[in-house]
Structure 1
Amino acid sequence: MAELQTHYPDVVPDLPDLYEPLVLFYERGGEFVRDNAGFLDLTGVLFRPGTLRGHLGAPSLSTLSDTVLDAVDAEGRISYYTTADGQGPLLRRRELRDEQRDELFSRDLQWEPTDRIPGSKEEAKDAGLVELDEIAAANLIAVILSNTSR
């Protein structure tokens, strides 16, 4: 890609470094295993490797900033929630081996304890909360960061 950009800068302008996400993943202590079903398990997040064409329409991470990555990097099985209109707070439930923690992403850009997540996913839905995947949660954190820095 770098060679194409060197020879044809008008055709392929401003390409991102394709290996930057992988290098960050390893620098932050990331690990993965391949399971018997063909999925890659990134310590709790599963995805099936596919073709470049197949990933072109997939949502992408809007930023790889340390602050965003720090905010989504946590132990346990994590579920993220926000209000259905997307205007509410970002909430997460972390299920650890012997405990559960409900947290809210605060204006101080930290996770703080909260009691705003109902007991079950059905109750959360009835309370007007929608579940987000990791990419959507990370992108929402990036938006919160950009609004805070203004």
Structure 2
Amino acid sequence: MQWYDWDLAVAHTRSRALLMREFLRRAAHWAKAYGAEEQWPFYDVTELIAPGFRAAEDVENALEDFLDRSVGTPSTARTCRGAVRWAALRTEHPGALPDRDREEREGQDQAQALDLYEPLLLLYERGGGYSVGEFIDLYGVMIPYGDLPFHLTAEPFLTLAPGTLDALDQGAVGRITYYAKIGAGHPRSAPRGILRRRVVGRDGGVHDEAFTRNLRWEPTEYLRRYELGHDDVDHVVISEREAAAFIERVAGAAATPPSSQAG
């Protein structure tokens, strides 16, 4: 296995940045829950939940062999160990994990009930690891660390389906702004559709695209017509996370048989 796939990483810069931010958010909540703020963000959470726990010997040996051969960043190695041991702990000792049902009943923060390593594993699959310095370098894009209090209040990114991530990455070149088309019966949370405007290069070339029922971004004249006063449908700027939620709903509807949708 080749750990770093540079072409893949560059092709997935948008989704990898979102996945890293979601990992930082989840890691902040887990660290706070266990009084381990100083270990944030790249740590093995099983050392907090079940100190001394290890996966089966053959699994641990294979893991260490892979890390020695392929993963040179210590923080990345720690999270790989954490992800493997988390999966083993969840299988062998489910009672050691937080009671998700109880947390939901009591209205406690749900970030701790989420799988800490899920977004990070998806990030690895989409081009490999990262390196750390003044920024977190994802090989194609760098993002700031922020701090733990900031990530405790960050907007969740929970739409992690591969198809959704692929759609966010599709043709995602330039500075991107997302819009939701709204109107009567179509609030921001359930818009008629979404669009994006990409401003590319030093000359500021503008590319307007709508996410269509074909599950891809296609050129649109909507924003230009609106700017000229020729379109009655209104729109608002939305976050990339809101755009992802819409994409996932559209993809889910497209995958549902018509008879199921009618029911």
The TM-score, its normalising length taken from structure 2, stands at 0.44
Q: Secondary structure at the match of 1:17?
A: coil
Cα deviation, residue 47, structure 1: 5.4
What pairs with 1:1-150 in structure 2 (closer than 5 Å)? 1-2=45-46, 4=49, 6=93, 8-9=95-96, 11-13=98-100, 15-29=113-127, 49-51=146-148, 54-73=150-169, 74-84=172-182, 85-86=187-188, 87-97=191-201, 98=203, 99-118=205-224, 128-150=234-256
Offset at residue 57 of structure 1 (A): 4.0
* Larger strand fraction of residues: 1
Rate the CA distance shift 1:112–1:45 in 2: closer, same or farther, 3 A: farther
Moved more, 57-66 or 9-18: 9-18
Q: Distance in 2 between matches of 1:56 and 1:64?
A: 19
Measured in 2, the distance between the counterparts of 1:128 and 1:45 equals 34
Structure 2 counterpart of 1:75, one-letter code: V
Q: What displacement does 1:94 show? A: 1.3
Looking at structure 2, the residues matched to 117 and 48 of structure 1 have their Cα atoms a distance apart, in angstroms, of: 34
Partner Cα distance (1:32, 1:72) in 2: 20
Higher relative contact order (CA 8 A, sep 6+): 2
Alpha-carbon offset, residue 103 of structure 1: 0.6
Task: Using the aligned pairs only, state the percent identity.
Answer: 36
Is the 1:83–1:130 Cα contact (8 Å) retained in structure 2? yes
Could you tell me which amino acid in structure 1 is paired with residue 95 of structure 2? Y
Residue 116 of structure 2 aligns with an amino acid whose one-letter code is: L
Paired residue secondary structure (1:118) = helix
Distance 1:7 1:143, change over 3 A: closer
Instruction: State the TM-score, normalizing by the size of structure 1.
Output: 0.71
> Aligned with 1:100: secondary structure?
strand
Letter in 2 for 1:58: A
CA distance 1:10–1:62, shift in 2 (3 Å): closer
- Separation in 1, partners of 2:211, 2:145: 29
Distance 1:130 1:31 in 2: 35
The gaps in structure 2 that reach 5 residues or longer are 1-44, 50-89, 102-112, 257-263
Aligned-pair distance for 1:81?
0.4
Task: Report the secondary structure of 2:249's partner residue.
Answer: helix
Show structure 1 runs of 4+ deviating over 4 A. Answer: 30-35, 38-48
Q: For the aligned residues, what is the CA RMSD? A: 3.7
User: What SS does the corresponding residue of 1:141 show, helix, strand or coil?
Assistant: helix
Number of residue pairs the alignment of both structures matches: 144
SS in 2 for 1:94: strand
Larger radius of gyration: 2
8 A Cα contact 2:175 2:198, kept in partner: yes
More helix by share: 2
Contact 1:40 1:49 in 2 (8 A): no
Q: Identify which range, 21-30 or 88-97, moves more after superposition.
A: 21-30
